Amino acid sequence: MPTAPTDSEYGTTLVPTVTPFSNGSVDAEAVADLAEFVLDEGADGLVPCGTTGEFASLTDEEYETVVQTSVDAADGAPVLPGAADTSVAGTLDRIDTAADCGADAVLIVLPYFHGANDPSGNERFLRAVLEETSLPIILYNIPSCVGQSIDADLVEAVADHPDLAGMKDTSGDLTHFLEIIRRTGDDFHLFQGWDSQLVPAVSMGATGGINAVSNYYPGLMSEAIDAAAENDMERGRDLQLNDIAPMFNTSLEYGFAPTTKSVLVERGVIDDDSVRPPLVELNDEQVATVRSLLDETIAAAE
């Protein structure tokens, strides 16, 4: 297994971008502004319409708008939209939309309502999608939302499929993450989605990260990945413990989309922090906490 990020056509620092709204509608101009901001600040690519992007609150038309706008704004940088759905047909429809927009790959999850009544069901689902997909696929393991984890046996069973590029793991289970690394080869791109485990994961051979905090700290996240890859563990430890972890823990408590949008407003990247129900915006006390953490991190970097 490698001890540094595997070379990847998608890069190592990918941003699961929020979906900005204005007057209740998707703000395409703000989608483009955010894409340009994170890429200018050091990100390698974009992951729109994921969990932080409130994909489950978007209509099909809005999904297409966000993906197309992201592809256009990326100007050639990789774009890997989420394509989550509860059925094979629905997942393939989302993949085809992303492909028509010019995306490079997609992230998919296991069905999140009808869970498999036998472990073989999850493999049948993934193979059915893989056999018909029009884009490379990255599995997205987020058991807190889906209700089940993509276990190591399943990953190993499908890892050699030519259209499976890798996995994002947001389980928060570092032991599980390392088991996936152990069972897959150098061509399998494994991204850490649990921000507070980014440096440990990369130091053990992960490709990089797809992290909510990178919406507003793309350069910092990229620096942390590079430090881990170069075995500069003093620098990596400092970034992980003092910069990444505090904001990640706050986002975990307050909600990733609301917190991220609040910080982006504070940074002047977007103008509107509104989210869609059942999410709610941060209250004044929470905004003050986020602002304090942001100020501390920016001051430390200067």
Domains of the chain: 13-230 (3.20.20.70)
Q: What is the mean pLDDT of residues 235-255?
A: 96
The predicted pLDDT at position 302 comes to 62
Which is it for strands 137-141 and 106-108: parallel, antiparallel or unpaired? parallel
pLDDT band at 6 (very low <50, low <70, confident <90, very high): low
Q: What is the mean pLDDT of residues 190-218?
A: 97
Encoding tokens for residue 209?
A: 């990260």
- Helix axes of 88-101 and 119-132: crossing angle, nearest 10 degrees: 30
pLDDT at 4 over 80: no
The predicted pLDDT at position 1 comes to 38
pLDDT band at 300 (very low <50, low <70, confident <90, very high): confident
Share of the chain above pLDDT 70, in %: 97
DSSP track, the chain: --SSPPP-TT-SEEE-----EETTEE-HHHHHHHHHHHHHTT--EE--SSTTTTGGG--HHHHHHHHHHHHHHHTTS-B--B---SSHHHHHHHHHHHHHHT-S-EEE---SSS--SSHHHHHHHHHHHHHH-SS-EEEEE-HHHHSS---HHHHHHHTT-TTEEEEEE-S--HHHHHHHHHHS-TTSEEEE-SGGGHHHHHHTT--EEE-GGGGT-HHHHHHHHHHHHTT-HHHHHHIIIIIIHHHHHHHHHH-HHHHHHHHHHHTTS-S-----TT-----HHHHHHHHHHHHHHHHHH-
Q: How far apart are CA 301 and CA 262, in angstroms?
A: 20
Share of the chain above pLDDT 90, in %: 91
- Give Cβ neighbours of residue 245 (< 8 Å, ≥ 6 apart): 195, 196
Q: CA 30, 54, 120: angle at the middle one, nearest 5?
A: 140
Catalytic sites, residue numbers:
140, 168
Answer yes or no: is 244 a known binding residue.
no
The predicted pLDDT at position 186 comes to 85
191 within 8 A of 138, measured Cβ to Cβ: yes
Q: What is the mean pLDDT of residues 194-221?
A: 96
Average pLDDT in the chain: 95
pLDDT at 52 over 60: yes
Q: What is the mean pLDDT of residues 103-107?
A: 98
The predicted pLDDT at position 69 comes to 98
Answer yes or no: is 210 a known binding residue.
yes
pLDDT band at 79 (very low <50, low <70, confident <90, very high): very high
Q: What is the pLDDT of residues 127-179, one digit of tens each?
A: 999 999 999 999 999 999 999 999 999 999 999 999 999 999 999 999 999 99
Q: What is the mean pLDDT of residues 41-48?
A: 98
Q: What is the mean pLDDT of residues 212-234?
A: 96
Q: Which residues lie across from 169 on neighbouring strands?
A: 141, 192
